[in-house]
Amino acid sequence: MSGAPGALNGLRVVELGQLLAGPFCGQLLGDMGADVIKIEPPGAGDPMRVWGQGEEKVQWEVIGRNKRSVTCNLRVPEGQALARRLILAADVMVENFKPGTLEKWGLDPSDLLREKPSLIVSRMSGYGQTGPYSDRAGFGGIGEAMGGWRYIVGEPDRPPARMGISIGDTLCATYGCMGILAALHHRERTGEGQVIDTALYEAVLQVMEGLIPEYDYNGVIRERSGSILPGIAPSNVYTCKDGPFMIGANNDAIFARLAQAMGRPELAQDPRYATHLARGRHQTELDELINAWTSTHTIDEVDRLMIEYSIPAGRVYTAKDMLEDPHFAARQAIVEVETQTHGKVKMQNAFPKFSRTPSGIFRAAPARPGVHNFEVYADILGMDPADLDRLSASGVI
């Protein structure tokens, strides 16, 4: 793995925690070339190994990629001492346990930093490491609710809905990764490590656009609005003869081109639709008018017109559509990986793209918890086979 060509080549990361936030942060770092050593509990390992949809659980093949797996029982003193040695041999430690858990296990980041001042520790939790809610358990969905996401998602006449993915966890992990990269820059200049405190609800809050100032200044509380953004029109999913199609033409010039594509150029001069504010006031009737037009055409027909008139628009993709699309193929957005458990599996490629230090999938997800025990504990900590056999027999690894 030290030969991985990514931008983070040579960086060693120890990943603690399980499920989504910590492991997704580790995935991002591994995709950029870091040597990510994942600590799993002996036995079943990370629950993500058996998560996902379909009879065969393959989600692990994505979140476990570019990692080496070691087992270590963090609930016993000898396991805690072993983890401490591994962390102190790393550049970065990532964790997403409930606040106070590391301290209970003798892995207080303050103590670790005293012993290794250059260490960077990224901590992800539901509510953060401080504040009156910090000791509460928190999953991604709770962070989405507290951060304002859930309240505005769904139809106005129905209870709050959710996305079909754990967006709160992955947002938190992405900000955790961003914090690590910034901390590495600071360390390069000063030699100092630090602790990064990332809360699920605050990660969600960061992407809520004008939600807070709109209430503070205007007294407006954003409400659920289904498939539209109120006042932004036309921008919606419309019905064609053979399925849904997305059109975004809320700019004045683009709407004029849409009106031409529809064979209704006069709409761009109609006072009800001529300006951004006017279209926002007449959003419902405008969407009905456009939907009446798209419903007489196939997706292919509308798509060709949108391309001809340079209107932002596109199909509403499923995974099947992505695998059949030539643009995904041309940019290698999806790649086929030879996995240790399921053979060849297609998955999303590493992202973003780098011109000089390309990211990638350098190592398939470890098939079993602890498959790299000897490789890691012997090479990094200098432990011999007898030590490892004893630790295995006693349930420490």
Q: Tell me the catalytic residues.
A: 169
Q: Is-contact 235 228, C-beta < 8 A?
A: yes
Non-local CB neighbours of 29 within 8 Å, separated by 6+ positions: 8, 11, 13, 36, 92, 94, 177, 180
Whole-number Å distance between alpha carbons of 214 and 209: 9
d(CA 289, CA 273): 11
The radius of gyration of the chain from alpha carbons, rounded to an integer in Å, stands at 25
Instruction: Give the whole-angstrom CA distance, residue 2 versus residue 188.
Output: 20
Decide if 345 contacts 351 (C-beta within 8 A).
no
Distance CA 189, CA 182 (A): 11
CA dihedral of residues 29, 35, 36, 39 (deg, nearest 10): -170
Q: Is the dihedral of CA 203, 206, 209, 214 positive or negative?
A: positive
**Residue whose C-alpha is closest to residue 89's, from 391, 362, 382:** 382
Per DSSP, the three-state class of 356 is coil
| CA distances (Å), origin 195, targets 14, 47, 121, 192, 198 | 14, 26, 5, 10, 10
Structure tokens at 6: 């990514």
Dihedral sign (CA 18, 69, 203, 154): negative
